[in-house]
């Protein structure tokens, strides 16, 4: 087997401590036990470092996360997580059974396509003063759908008793919900899963309060 | 091998002729040569049939598409397409090589998470009169990123010379771009790929102008 230099290098994650999509990838790296380097991209400072020419050449979408791995650059968190899962040992983040995999992808996409994009920074910046109300509305609406689905699929984790990509999506979305003061008491399954997952080491070390670019006043 | 009654039944697609996410799934069914039944869900009539209790029990997210297949109900178009791909013969919609798969997923997610959700019906309904301008802004921004990525990955199709899930996402998104009067001349790769794909039978039979619920005045 021929290993190129690129594939021997540690992956590089371009991320931001508070970006929920970056956190998904950090959780996946931690669950798989993969060491990586972080390059912080401050989404607020200087009008947003994601808009620099330098970062645009990494990800033309001007969003985090982006990952350099095995000689390629990938953006879109779920594409990154599935690539890691397919190429690295460690716990599977997508289950072997096709129906169960489909449920994991459905829940992941419900969050990654159905909730997060509508409350992300670039959309909120266009909303101006109604920001919090807008984010709250869409997270709430998404959780109304997610709760009955999780009630059916969840065991100890989002889908049965095995950790999966769905869990890497859930916890960062709950973190956003809390920032925008969504009332979690309406969603007992989401709340219970989030609490269980936050106890796990992989979710702790990847938490926004413990990153190289976390501002001192937010450090845990 | 034990085949349940459910798995012998044709899949049922709950969709809407003009929904770009429904169209993705129709393309995938057509590419794989899978017969299916359609249940139209009119997103406009009666305040939107997706809001009925009956449909909410199919998809709590109150969005199309939803698919009943092999005894389970799936929503989220990319989860559906990958399930079909993993369980049905016919051309692979995800390539075998992990890096190429990752590129297909990255492009698919860039559209499915990065562009479509911000210009979908429920978001536009909250925008009121600035609808067209809002949709145009976000599609344009997404295509600015997609164009240089596709320039690198594309051959005859979005990723190389094999049709993939990325192509099922591209064409419906271009259709939306045209509805919202985005100037496609800025995006020569996107425009070229779209033209090539629209020539294929699977894209023709699944087109919004040829569905059971297409209004007579829009029929091709």
Can you read off the two tokens belonging to residue B40?
A: 């139209």
* pLDDT tens profile B18-50: 999 999 999 999 999 999 999 999 998 888 999
Radius of gyration of chain A measured on its C-alpha atoms: 17
B117 or A77: whose pLDDT is higher? A77
Angstrom distance (rounded) from CA B178 to CA B140: 11
What does the pLDDT average to over B99-121? Answer: 93
pLDDT value at A195 more than 60: yes
Is A82's CB within 8 Å of B102's CB?
Answer: yes
Across the A:B interface, residue pairs with CB atoms under 8 Å apart total 122
* Rounded mean pLDDT, A133-153: 94
Residues of chain B in contact with residue A110, where contact means CB-CB under 8 angstroms, are: 61, 75-76
Is the pLDDT at B64 greater than 90? The verdict is: yes
B144-176 pLDDT, tens digit per residue, is: 999 999 999 999 999 999 999 999 999 999 999
Q: Which residues pair with A38 in a beta bridge?
A: A13
Q: Which two tokens stand for residue B85?
A: 């791909």
CA–CA separation, B39 and B150 (whole Å)? 34
Cα–Cα nearest to A146, from A114, A99, A101, A180 = A114
pLDDT value for A129: 72
CA distance B4 to chain A (A): 14
Higher pLDDT, B69 or A126: B69
Q: Using a CB-CB distance cutoff of 8 angstroms, which residues of chain B are in contact with residue A72?
A: 99, 102-103
* Mean per-residue pLDDT, A104-114: 96
Flag whether pLDDT at B213 surpasses 90: yes
Cβ neighbour number for residue B40 with a 10 Å cutoff: 18
Give residue A6's pLDDT band: very low, low, confident or very high (50, 70, 90): low
The answer to whether B72 contacts A118, with C-beta atoms less than 8 Å apart, is no
Question: Which residues on A lie below 8 Å from B137 (Cβ)?
Answer: 126
Provide, as residue numbers in chain B, all residues whose Cβ is less than 8 Å from the Cβ of A118: 117-118, 123
In this complex, do B86 and A72 lie within 8 Å of one another by their Cβ atoms? no
Cβ neighbours of residue B89 closer than 8 Å, sequence gap 6 or more: B32
**What confidence tens digit (pLDDT) does each residue in A41-75 have?**
999 888 899 999 999 998 998 999 999 999 999 99
The two most distant CA atoms of chain B are separated, in Å, by 56
Backbone angles phi, psi at A69, to 5 degrees: -155, 135
Interface confidence (ipTM) of the complex: 0.94
Report the chain A residue with the minimal C-alpha distance to residue B73: A103
Nearest to A87 among B62, B98, B110 (CB): B98
By the 10 Å C-beta count (0-12 exposed, 13-18 middle, 19+ buried), B185 is classed as: exposed
> Taking the C-alpha atoms of A194, A195, A200 and A201 in order, what is their torsion angle to the nearest 10 degrees?
90
The dihedral of CA B194, B199, B200, B205: what is its sign? positive
B102 neighbourhood in chain A, CB within 8 Å: 72, 74, 79-80, 82-83
| CA torsion, ordered B54, A149, B164, B13, to nearest 10 deg | -20
Query: Quick one: average pLDDT of B101-122?
Result: 92
- Mean pLDDT over the full length of chain B: 93
Q: Report the residue of B65, B66, B86, B106 to disrupt the A interface, i.e. the one with the largest count of A CBs within 10 Å.
A: B106
DSSP single-letter state for residue A186: G
Give the list of residues 6+ apart from residue A39 with CB closer than 8 angstroms, or none: A12, A13, A14, A15
Name the residue with tokens 């100037």.
B183
Q: Do A114 and B109 touch (CB under 8 A)?
A: no
**Taking the CB of residue A34, how many other CB atoms lie within 10 A of it?**
15
Residues of chain A neighbouring B122 (CB-CB closer than 8 A): 141
Q: Contacts of residue A126 in chain B, CB cutoff 8 Å? A: 134, 137
A106:B137 CB<8 A: no
Q: A51 near A40, Cβ under 8 Å?
A: no
The string of DSSP codes covering A16-54 is -TT-HHHHHHHHHHHHHT---EEEE--SSGGG-GGGSHH
**Tens-place pLDDT, residues A79-106:** 999 999 999 999 999 999 999 999 999 9
pLDDT at A127 over 80: no
Q: What is the pLDDT of residue A122?
A: 73
Closest residue of chain A to B135, computed from CA coordinates: A123
Q: Tens digits of per-residue pLDDT, B116-134? A: 988 787 777 777 778 888 8
Domains and CATH numbers, chain A: 12-91 (3.40.30.10), 98-204 (1.20.1050.10)
Residue B5 sits at φ, ψ, to 5 deg, of: -55, -40
Mean pLDDT along residues A150-170 = 98
Does the distance separating the beta carbons of B75 and A83 come in below 8 Å? no
Look at A102 and B80 and tell me if their CB atoms are within 8 Å. Answer: yes
* Chain A closest-CA separation from residue B177 CA (Å): 17
Q: At what angle do helices A188-198 and A131-153 cross, to 10 degrees?
A: 90
Q: What is the mean pLDDT of chain A?
A: 93
Confidence of residue A181 (pLDDT cuts 50, 70, 90): very high
DSSP H or E stretch at residue A15: strand A12-15
pLDDT higher than 80, residue A170: yes
Query: Does the structure show a pLDDT above 80 at A123?
Result: no
Contact B114 A117 (CB under 8 A): yes
Reported as a single tens digit per residue, the pLDDT across A9-53 is 899 999 999 999 999 999 999 999 999 999 999 998 888 999 999
The pLDDT confidence band at residue A131, using thresholds 50, 70 and 90, is: confident
Whole-angstrom distance, CA of residue A55 vs CA of residue B11: 44
Percent of chain B with pLDDT over 90: 82
Is it the case that residue B3 has pLDDT exceeding 60?
no
Which helix (H) or strand (E) is A13 found in, with range? strand A12-15
pLDDT of residue B129: 72
Lookup result for tokens 């005859």: B156
CB contact under 8 A, B61 and A110: yes
**A30 Cα to chain B: minimum distance (Å):** 20
% of chain B with per-residue pLDDT over 70:
96
Residue A16: C-alpha distances to residues A24, A67, A164 (Å): 11, 12, 22
- The residue-averaged pLDDT of B98-125 equals 90
A39 strand-pairing partners: A14
- Band (pLDDT 50/70/90 cuts) for residue A8 is low
CA B104/CA B79 separation, integer angstroms: 14
């Amino acid at each position: 087997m021929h290993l190129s230099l690129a594939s021997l290098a540690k992956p590089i994650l371009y991320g931001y401590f508070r970006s929920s999509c970056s956190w998904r990838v950090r959780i996946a790296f931690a669950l798989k036990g993969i060491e990586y380097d972080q390059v912080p991209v401050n989404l607020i400072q200087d009008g947003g470092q994601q808009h620099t020419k330098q970062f645009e050449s990494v990800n033309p979408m001007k969003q985090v996360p982006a990952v350099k791995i095995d000689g390629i650059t990938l953006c879109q968190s779920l594409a990154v997580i599935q690539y890691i899962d397919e190429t690295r040992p460690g716990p599977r983040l997508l289950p072997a059974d096709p129906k169960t995999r489909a449920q994991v992808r459905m829940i992941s996409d419900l969050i990654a396509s159905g909730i997060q994009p509508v409350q992300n920074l670039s959309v909120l910046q266009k909303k101006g003063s109604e920001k919090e109300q807008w984010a709250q509305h869409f997270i709430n609406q998404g959780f109304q759908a997610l709760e009955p689905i999780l009630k059916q699929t969840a065991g100890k984790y989002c889908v049965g008793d095995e950790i999966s990509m769905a869990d890497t999506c859930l916890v960062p979305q709950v973190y956003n919900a809390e920032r925008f003061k969504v009332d979690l008491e309406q969603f007992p399954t989401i709340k219970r899963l989030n609490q269980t997952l936050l106890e796990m080491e992989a979710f702790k070390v990847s938490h926004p309060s413990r990153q190289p670019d976390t501002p001192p006043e937010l450090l845990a």
